């Protein structure tokens, strides 16, 4: 199980790297925020996988909180884009 | 390893694959809306599978339960994120790769805010939210209770502005979820294939106007949410009078094909929120 979780977390890390490349490239704010949203979801996935290693629910509120922050952040930035860029 | 643990490990593996595909898609797809298709939905499914799978792999009921909560949360929020960011990108004029656009020139007014509902269900639902919060923290401390009350009040306050007071049918909801889960898996596999196979000639983006026939706002919102969680389509805008859903699709061939897909979801949603007036709904 340890090995499986390590492989999963490494893969999620690679995925996060790809998303960061998109966040740096842009070109629009919408692209960047979706990419960063994805990084947070991947982080939450990695923490959830850690739960399989330890068998304890200690970190699960963190999973929920990170997913919540990712969503709320994206929604706020969406509002901001509309406010700033709509004629 | 027990069968449950094996199943959990398999689910976690699938979740990881979907997460990686989401990241590859966000890097590879050619336009902002297309990237949104890849990112929000595949990643949400990935996280849901990871969370449920982790619980099963550890053979812990508490973990699995929270995993399902995360899955429900992702199902509700991912379409909202996709819709809001997609709509903002469209309104800001950052989407210029459409082969067909029904939304051009349409006055994008946000959906009218519904009446707050007055019934005994509200305090009950509020109490249930507080309870879920306490279970999540697994802690009966006073501060946790206050925090849960604040969050529940916030959610209830938000909720009344989105929904009307049509009652859901439980049997209809179960049928909806089962059929819908199947559709989500199939369409995710299709996007996966899209991401793996090189270059994106088959992507033809379009925004199609779909007139809805469902009788209530709740059913319309359920359809919009379901459309958005299905990879390959994203609800960009929902207007009233007439109730029309504007769907962004990755693989546009004909308008009728898109409408037929939404219609099948409408038929399912009409069973979740049956029309009490006795009118035939969603059988077009």
User: Angle, nearest 10°, between helix axes A29-54 and A60-85?
Assistant: 180
**pLDDT one-digit tens code per residue, B45-69:** 888 888 888 888 887 777 788 788 8
Beta bridge partners of B247: B208, B235
Are B55 and A64 inside 8 Å of each other by CB? no
What's the pLDDT score for residue B279? 45
Buried (b) or exposed (e) across B92-103, using 16+ Cβ within 10 A?
bebbeebeebbb
Cβ atoms A40, A68 nearer than 8 A: no
Sheet of strand B244-249, all strands in order from the earlier edge strand to the far edge: B98-101, B205-211, B244-249, B233-239
ipTM here: 0.88
Closest C-alpha to B214, from B180, B250, B251, B164: B164
- In this predicted structure, the answer to whether residue B100 has a pLDDT above a threshold of 80 is no
Closest C-alpha to B30, from B247, B199, B206: B199
Cβ atoms B210, B259 nearer than 8 A: yes
Contact list in A for residue B19 (CB cut-off 8 A) is 11-12, 15, 41-42, 45
Work out the angle at residue B82's Cα, subtended by the Cα atoms of residues B79 and B85, and round it to the nearest 5 degrees.
145
CATH topology of domain A2-85: Helix Hairpins (1.10.287)
Segment B169-174 long-range contacts (CB within 8 Å, at least 24 positions apart): B169/B271, B169/B272, B169/B273, B169/B274, B171/B271, B172/B268, B172/B271, B172/B272, B172/B273, B172/B274, B173/B272
Give the nearest chain B residue to A77 (CA atoms).
B85
Closest C-alpha to A44, from B153, B43, B47, B25: B47
**What is the signed CA dihedral for B216, B219, B224, B226, rounded to 10 degrees?**
-170
**pLDDT one-digit tens code per residue, B148-171:** 888 887 777 666 555 555 666 777
What's the pLDDT score for residue A14? 92
Residue ranges of domains in chain B: 3-109+165-272, 121-159
**pLDDT one-digit tens code per residue, B167-176:** 667 777 788 7
Cβ atoms B218, B274 nearer than 8 A: no
Residue ranges of domains in chain A: 2-85
Q: In whole angstroms, what is the distance from residue B2 CA to residue B143 CA?
A: 39
Contact list in A for residue B43 (CB cut-off 8 A) is 37-38, 41-42
> Given A21, A75, A77, which is nearest B27 (Cβ)?
A21
Q: In whole angstroms, what is the distance from residue B215 CA to residue A53 CA?
A: 48
């Amino acid at each position: 199980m340890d090995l499986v979780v390590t492989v999963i977390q490494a893969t999620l890390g690679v995925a996060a790297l790809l998303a960061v490349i998109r966040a740096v490239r842009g070109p629009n704010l919408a692209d960047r925020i979706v990419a960063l949203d994805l990084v947070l979801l991947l982080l939450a996935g990695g923490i959830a996988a850690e739960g399989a290693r330890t068998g304890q629910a200690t970190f699960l509120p963190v999973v929920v909180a990170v997913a919540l922050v990712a969503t709320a952040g994206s929604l706020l930035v969406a509002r901001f884009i509309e406010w700033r860029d709509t004629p | 390893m027990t069968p449950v643990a094996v199943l959990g490990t398999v689910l976690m593996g699938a979740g990881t694959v979907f997460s990686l595909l989401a990241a590859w898609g966000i890097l590879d797809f050619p336009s902002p809306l297309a990237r949104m298709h890849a990112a929000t939905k595949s990643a949400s499914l990935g996280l849901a599978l990871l969370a449920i799978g982790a619980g099963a792999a550890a053979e812990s009921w508490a973990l699995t339960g929270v995993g399902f909560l995360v899955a429900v949360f992702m199902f509700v929020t991912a379409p909202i994120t996709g819709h809001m960011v997609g709509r903002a990108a469209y309104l800001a004029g950052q989407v210029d790769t459409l082969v067909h656009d029904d939304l051009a020139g349409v006055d994008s007014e946000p959906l009218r805010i519904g009446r707050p509902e007055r019934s005994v269900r509200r305090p009950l639902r509020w109490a249930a939210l507080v309870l879920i919060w306490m279970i999540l923290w697994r802690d009966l401390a006073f501060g946790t209770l206050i925090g849960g009350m604040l969050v529940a009040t916030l959610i209830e306050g938000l909720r009344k502005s989105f929904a009307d007071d049509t009652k859901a049918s439980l049997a209809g909801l179960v049928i909806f979820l089962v059929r819908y889960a199947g559709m989500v898996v199939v369409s995710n596999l299709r996007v996966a294939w899209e991401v793996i196979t090189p270059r994106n000639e088959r992507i033809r983006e379009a925004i199609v106007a779909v007139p809805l026939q469902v009788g209530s706002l709740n059913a319309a919102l359920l359809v919009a949410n379901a459309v958005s969680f299905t990879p390959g389509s994203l609800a960009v805008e929902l207007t009233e009078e007439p109730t029309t859903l504007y769907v962004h699709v990755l693989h546009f061939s004909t308008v009728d094909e898109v409408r037929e897909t939404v219609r099948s979801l409408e038929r399912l949603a009409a069973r979740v929120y049956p029309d009490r007036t006795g009118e035939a709904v969603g059988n077009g």
